[in-house]
Amino acid sequence: MEFKDVEVKLKKKNKILFTRESACLQELLKEIRLQKHRTLVLWIFRICKDAESYVKRRNKEDTRVETARELCWKWAQGKCKMQSAKKALLAVHAIAKETRDPVLEAYCHALGQGYASVHVETHAIGFVMYELSAFVRMYGIDKKRLEDRIQYYHQELKRCEKDIENYKEWASFLLDDTRENKEMCLYVRKHK
C-alpha cells in the first residue's frame, strides 16, 4: 500500500492525515460505495471499539462517548430522534477541542464521524480517516500496522454485509434500500 500522501500531510502538520483521495483507502471506498446504509452503520459500531477504549482510558469520568454511542444506536433503531443524537455527537467532537492530546483528538473526531454514519453513509469513511490519523500519531507511519488495520476494516465490512439480515430492528430510513448510497453519489458527482 502507498502512504506517500500521508507522509506529506504529516510533514505539513495536518491534523487529518487521510482523505478520500488517499491511495491506501481506494479499495475500501469501492466497497463502502456498494453497501446498504444499515450495513455501514453496523460496521462502524463494530470497528469503533478500539477508539472508544482509548477515549475511555484517557477520560475515565467522561460519559459523552458512551452517551453518543447509545443515542446513535437508538437513532439507528428508530427509538430516538436525530436531534438527541446530534447533541451527543457534538459533545464527542467537543472532547477533541478540549484536549491537547493529538491521539485523543483524532479518536474523538473518528467517533463523532463514525456515529454520524447513521445520518449519512459519507460519514463512515470519516471514522477511518480520523482513526488512521490517530494510529499515525501514536506509532508513526508504521506501514504494517496501517495495512493490518485497513485489512481489518475490509474483513469487518464483509462480515457485516453477511450479518446484516440478523439485525431486524432498524429505523425506517435505514430499511429503505431504494435510497442511493451517498458515498457512491459523491463519487459519481466528483468523477463526471
Could you tell me the pLDDT band of residue 59, with boundaries at 50, 70 and 90?
Answer: confident
The position carrying cell 431504494 is 178
pLDDT of residue 5: 95
Could you tell me the pLDDT band of residue 185, with boundaries at 50, 70 and 90?
Answer: very high
Q: What is the mean pLDDT of residues 116-145?
A: 97
Q: What is the mean pLDDT of residues 132-146?
A: 97
pLDDT of residue 47: 98
Q: How many angstroms separate the CA atoms of 24 and 49, rounded?
A: 22
Read off the pTM. 0.96
- % pLDDT > 90, the chain: 96
pLDDT of residue 192: 86
How far CA 6 is from CA of 1, 106, 122, 136, in Å, comes to: 12, 15, 21, 9
pLDDT beyond 90 at 152: yes
Q: What is the mean pLDDT of residues 2-23?
A: 96
